[in-house]
């Protein structure tokens, strides 16, 4: 029985000595899984563009013609003149007085602050709100 154990132990001992362990490290090759190939930029960009559902629109970014620019400028000047006339009719040459004023669907609240007058304009139909600070002289 002793010789049989030796016959089994000796090859097992040689076999275990001849085995060496090594460190296995994962190195991704595909750039989609973290590979570090610096030349994979074009592949990644093409893949990202293929998956992109966003469509860019040019809302109002196109160049207007000279006629359109002139029409828009004229409209602004007319609206400015109209608002100045309404303002003069309501307040005259006096300074703005503190209080709340209603012009159709616009509610205007004028309150004094440290920096001057705060004018809050509220559109009662849509809920849009604007604040303007008029500095002191």
Render pLDDT for 59-95 as a digit per residue (tens, 0 to 9).
666 677 888 888 888 888 887 877 777 667 666 666 6
**How much is the pLDDT for 54?**
86
Looking at residue 96, its pLDDT comes to 67
- pLDDT beneath 50, residues of the chain: none
| Bridge partners, residue 107, by sequence | 102, 122
Q: What pLDDT, on a 0 to 100 scale, did the predictor assign at position 76? A: 84
E strands within the chain?
99-103, 106-112, 116-123, 129-135
Sign of CA dihedral 39, 42, 45, 50: negative
So what's the pLDDT on residue 47? 86
The pLDDT value recorded for residue 89 is 67
Residue 78: per-residue pLDDT: 80
């Amino acid at each position: 029985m002793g010789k049989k154990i030796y016959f089994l132990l000796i090859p097992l001992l040689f076999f275990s000595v001849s085995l060496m362990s090594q460190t296995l490290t994962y190195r991704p090759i595909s750039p989609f899984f973290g590979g570090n190939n610096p030349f994979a930029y074009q592949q990644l960009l093409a893949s990202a563009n293929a998956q992109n559902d966003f469509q860019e629109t040019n809302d109002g970014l196109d160049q207007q013609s000279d006629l359109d620019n002139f029409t828009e400028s004229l409209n602004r000047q007319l609206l400015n003149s109209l608002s100045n006339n309404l303002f003069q009719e309501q307040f005259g040459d006096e300074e703005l007085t503190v209080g709340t004023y209603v012009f159709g669907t616009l509610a205007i609240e004028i309150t004094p602050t440290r920096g001057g007058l705060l004018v809050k304009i509220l559109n009662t139909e849509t809920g849009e709100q604007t604040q303007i600070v008029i500095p002191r002289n």
